[in-house]
Structure 1
Amino acid sequence: MPKITFIGAGSTVFAKNLMGDILSYPELADATISLHDIDPERLRTSEIVAHKVAEALDAHPTIQATTDRRAALDGADYAISMIQVGGYKPCTVTDFEIPKKYGLRQTIADTLGIGGIMRGLRTIPVLLDMCRDMEELCPDVTFLQYVNPMAMNCWAISRATKIKTVGLCHSVQGTAAQLARDIGVPVEEINYVCAGINHMAFYLRFERKTEDGVEDLYPRIRQVLEEGRAPAWNLVRYEVFRRLGYFVTESSEHFAEYVPWFIKRDRPDLIEKFNIPLDEYIRRCEVQIASWERMRQDLENPETRLEVRRSHEYGSGIIHSMETGTPRVINGNVPNDGLIHNLPEGCCVEVPCLVDKNGVQPISVGNLPPHLAALMQTNINVQALTVEAALTGKREHIYHAAMLDPHTAAELDLEQIWNLVDDLIEAHGDWLPAYH
């Protein structure tokens, strides 16, 4: 039976979902689940939840919990990361509040933009330390990486370590389900090919088989747009679809801050027109924090029985396929080793991947439509320079990353950008390594 290590297992709800997915497979029901977190209280809650998940599924795993990361990783076959370096406070709040002083507003700030840059700079060193432990303690491990900024993190890992890594997100399958509801077609009937970079992949094909052949479903999506039926929370993506002809995977609130077109301090009408929720991640965190204590008590209550439903996360399916040989296709974030021809070699791309006993095998997509590749390149520029800063320790690359960020550059001049970077580095203090 495999040993599956959860790093950041104090993310109790996400850990619960993944454990439920894994243990619902009979072939994995006796696996060793090793839970690690630096917060002993949250770790204890997750350990209680793990036993409840096993009970609900009539599974019999070996469940371990430890604050010692090396012990958790020792001999692991699979490691799953779900950490947040610096947490909501102080670091996420810092990522939002200091840019606001310059008039720079954000929605999520975990992938790109000045918030994504800073999140990457404080996260990459921790992930690389983790990978060095893996190289020593479990060199053949498959590392399932769920932490944002996904592309920056995975790119740095692929450059600096030998660990087999795939970055996992739920935006591809999640958006497919949303579009299925919009067009009134059961998602089970839909086939798609989706490729690009994390949070900026596009459905190159979105179709279903019929008695007469294959039906292209894009005309149905276009009909939703033309009839004014786009959901109020998804107006940014439908507008991008109108202009580019392909539908993007990540949510409207995310996508609004990856481009220079929607969030402008002197255009409040755009915020209203496209229903853009500024400071959305802050709001979500506050709601979650306010409800956590009640949720924790409920999860720990001996009388509470958990209802376990399969999530749409890819992680458990990857483990199941690698253990049993059952083939399945997922969308994973991997190095661009000739997979997308008109994106830079070595950058992190999100492409279909076949998974079986041979592991995660990315599928070559060839060339993307040129305008989609050009849009992605604006984000890859920022990712590349952030990774360069993290791996070389050169402060100049942080400035360069911020200068080339589409949203930041649309709002601030060069002097403001450099001053903002200085302020953020100072505010982060020991959460960042020293840069020279």
Structure 2
Amino acid sequence: MRKGSLKIAVIGGGSSYTPELIEGFIKRFHELPVSDLYLVDIEAGKQKLEIVGALAKRMIEKANVPINLHLTLNRREAIENADFVTTQMRVGLLDARARDERIPLRYQCIGQETTGAGGFAKALRTIPVILDICKDIEELAPNAYMINFTNPAGIVTEAVIKHSQVKTIGLCNLPIGTKMQMASLMDTEVSKVEIEMVGINHLNWTTQIYVDGKNVKDEILQKVSETKGITVKNIPDFGWNLDFLTSLGALPCSYHRYYYMKEKMLEEQLESLKAKGTRAEAVKKVEEELFELYQNEQLAEKPAQLEKRGGAYYSEAAVNLMASIYNDRKDIQTVNVKNNGVITCLPDDVSIEVNCIIDSNGAHPVAIQTPLPPQIRGLLQVVKAYEELTVTAAAKGDYHAALQALSIHPLVGSANMAKKLLDDILEENREYLPQFSAVLGEI
């Protein structure tokens, strides 16, 4: 990695999230000296790329940092000789997300962007594109790190691990958000909080919580059961029962509500669908407002309204990870990496989300302090098996792997339901699933 001269390519540069990422690069320029920043998108995203790019340029000029900003539709140009390639894309845009949320609800199943049948559909569209990007990285920037923020982040990371040679680390803002919530609950600085997170992306458990070296997990579980607001923006704030938390012996992440409160969450989604549509449709309105703001030539900073979009602390997590690799920091961050025996009840070649030491050679998982009890191990193994099958289905166009993936997912529940969901997902995403072309001819 070239000291003092970094090239970073952002795949999906026209995303509404990009101003937050730009803010992160500006704030941390002293420790991550980016010389060339490429924002790259596809033809369909050209207008958004130009709008976001103009705002990014104003932000960089206002901050007076020497980052050379490039906007391009040429992915290979952006990737060539890059030190980092970040991915933040949505294949099919928000219209595809709306379908991901509506199709499961059609059959009285949870409809969510990254979890269950909705996350499965997104993975089928996304993995082939990501693996194509990996081919470019292998050829044009073999030493680059791919920092993947594209959902479903854990499944996408696993696909890269299994089907490419690219050095990849999957990233989610949920772990850093959890740490900040714990600091708030304990009325302390986030720097004084240490947590152990174990699991997979959007299905992880906080098994240890320390403040100033003192184990405060039991106190935190008590406080969480009495407190609202321990969730992320796109998940309803249904509280946790203390007996349940005590028996679990860990703090579940926000997405666990889809598993542990399935009936309640489904009821809320169906009511919301009737009243105001899907979350995707709400996000679409927010994005329209954001891009209107972004076009204001007087705007030269990330607008506060971006917080409505979700993805809080995205730039904090992403730029912090790159800075730690660049500076060989050897600090601890919670990221998605290859298991390699860290979680003993899972295969070695799958992706997991755990605490890792970050240095110039990437992310190295820390040994887990807490043996996983059956109440955690059981759900974890089932959902990981679903993820393994989903990677196979997406990478190879394997209909049978896809059917089995949905059949075993806890939010689907039956082979008969899985078959209906799968056929609808394939049919309604036909233009984005060339790997299933032979099967689609029969549906």
Matches of 2:378 and 2:188, distance apart in 1:
31
2: CA distance between counterparts of 1:362 and 1:386? 24
State the partner residue of 1:286: 281
Which amino acid in the other structure matches residue 205 of structure 2?
F
Matching residue of 2:308:
none
Question: How far apart are 1:369 and its partner, in Å?
Answer: 1.6
Percent identity for Structure 1 against Structure 2: 26
- Among residues 23, 45, 56, which one is paired with 1:50 in the alignment? 56
2:261 corresponds to which residue? Answer: 262
1:432 aligns to what? 433
1:182-219 CA-to-partner distances (Å, cap 9, x unmatched) read 3434333212222211112222210122xxxx422123
Shift of 1:311: 4.1
What CA distance in whole angstroms lies between the structure 2 residues aligned with 1:96 and 1:201?
Answer: 22
Q: Residue in 1 aligned with 2:422?
A: 421
Distance 1:311 1:423, change over 3 A: closer
Assess, with a 3 A threshold, how the Cα gap between structure 1 residues 151 and 291 changes in structure 2: closer, same or farther.
closer
Alpha-carbon separation, structure 2, partners of 1:85 and 1:336: 27
Alignment partner of 1:167 is 2:170: yes
Q: Which moved more, 1:166-175 or 1:424-433?
A: 424-433
1:92 aligned onto 2:97: yes
User: Do the aligned partners of residues 355 and 287 (structure 1) sit closer, same or farther apart at CA in structure 2, a change above 3 Å counting?
Assistant: same
Instruction: Give the conservation status (yes or no) of the 8 Å contact 1:236–1:255.
Output: no
Aligned to 1:357: 360
- The 1:282–1:346 alpha-carbon spacing in structure 2 relative to 1, beyond 3 Å, is farther
Matched residue, 1:81: 87
Give yes or no for contact 2:339–2:348 (8 Å, CA) kept in 1: yes
| 1:340 and 1:367 in contact (8 A); partners too | no
Match of 2:214 in 1: 215
Aligned to 2:309: none
The answer as to whether partners of 1:192 and 1:206 remain within 8 angstroms in 2 is: yes
SS in 1 for 2:262: coil
Select 1:296's aligned residue among 281, 291, 295.
291
Deviation, structure 1 residue 86: 1.0
Structure 2 residue aligned with 1:334: 337
How many residues are matched?
A: 414
Partner of 2:233: none
2:251 maps to 1:247: yes
- Contact kept, 8 Å, 2:228 with 2:239, in 1: the verdict is no
The question of whether the paired residues in 2 share the 8 Å contact of 1:36 and 1:68 is answered with yes
When normalised by structure 2's length, the TM-score is 0.86
Moved more, 47-56 or 143-152: 47-56
Q: 1:322 to 1:105 in 2, by over 3 A?
A: closer
Compare 339-348 and 365-374 and name the one that shifted more.
Answer: 365-374
Is contact 2:110–2:411 with CA below 8 Å preserved after alignment? no
User: Corresponding residue for 1:346?
Assistant: 349
CA distance in 2, matches of 1:96, 1:229: 29
Give the one of 394, 397, 418 matched to 2:398: 394
What is the aligned partner in structure 1 of residue 108 from structure 2?
A: 103
Whether 2:125 is the aligned partner of 1:127: answer no
Q: Give the whole-Å Cα distance in 2 for the aligned partners of 1:173 and 1:281.
A: 30
TM-score normalised by length of structure 1: 0.87
Hey, what's the Cα distance between the residues in 2 that align with 1:277 and 1:370?
A: 35
- What secondary structure, in the 3-state scheme, does the structure 2 residue paired with 1:314 have? helix
Q: 1:293 to 1:111 in 2, by over 3 A?
A: closer
2: CA distance, partners of 1:344 / 1:135: 25
- What corresponds to 1:199 in structure 2? 202
* Other structure's SS at 2:434 match: coil
SS at 1:350 equivalent? strand
Q: Are the structure 2 counterparts of residues 342 and 420 from structure 1 closer, same or farther at C-alpha, using a change threshold of 3 Å?
A: closer
